[in-house]
Homo-oligomer: A and B are copies of this chain.
Amino acid sequence: MPYDSSKLLDATNLAILRELQQDARLSYSELSRRVGLSVPAVTERVRRLEDAGIIEGYGVRLNFEALGYGITALIELSAPPSRYPQVLAFCEQTPEIRESYFVTGDSSYVVRVVARSVQHLQEIIQRLGTFGNTRTSVVLSSPIIKTSFDLEGLKR
């Protein structure tokens, strides 16, 4: 339920979010030690951040390379609006497609995919190609993937 209530972003809650970004499996007792409040107070604050929709959930950061998915690519797809539902359905049922963005500019969709080999990537490109023109950029390296966001700018 993302309705703001900007008071939720006081210095203590920003500290809580900072800690959870670095290690979401921190115990409440350790978290409360770090932010200087009692355990029930911190537990309640986290619950409210979840209820407000600021915290959407907790995830594990997986190393796709170690899982055998050594290739990442960004694929731009230009497709007529009439095919959007089909494109969406395809993206949803294809696990290799990690995210899709509907963007301004000459390409309608940009998707990020992971693949086990160039053959595997080619398959995905060909399937996307049935919806429209594609333009693929293979990722050579990902110098920056930030796992936490500096929330300092949110202080009022």
Contact = CB atoms under 8 A, between A and B. Distances in A.
A88 interface: yes
Contact of A23 (B58, B105, B140, B144): B58
A60 B25 contact: no
A28 to B, nearest CB: 10
A61 B49 CA distance: 11
Nearest to A69: B149
A23 to B, nearest CB: 6
A21 to B, nearest CB: 5
A59 B62 contact: no
A76 to B, nearest CB: 9
Given A55-B60, A59-B24, A154-B67, A103 B88 contact: no
A54 B61 contact: no
A100 B144 contact: yes
B148 A100 contact: no
A2 to B, nearest CB: 4
B60 A143 contact: no
A86 B58 CA distance: 33
B62 A2 contact: no
Given A21-B59, A24-B58, A65 B144 contact: no
Interface string A8-20: 0100000001001
Interface of A: 2, 4, 9, 17, 20-25, 52-68, 72, 74, 88, 91-92, 95, 97-105, 107, 110-111, 135-151, 153-154
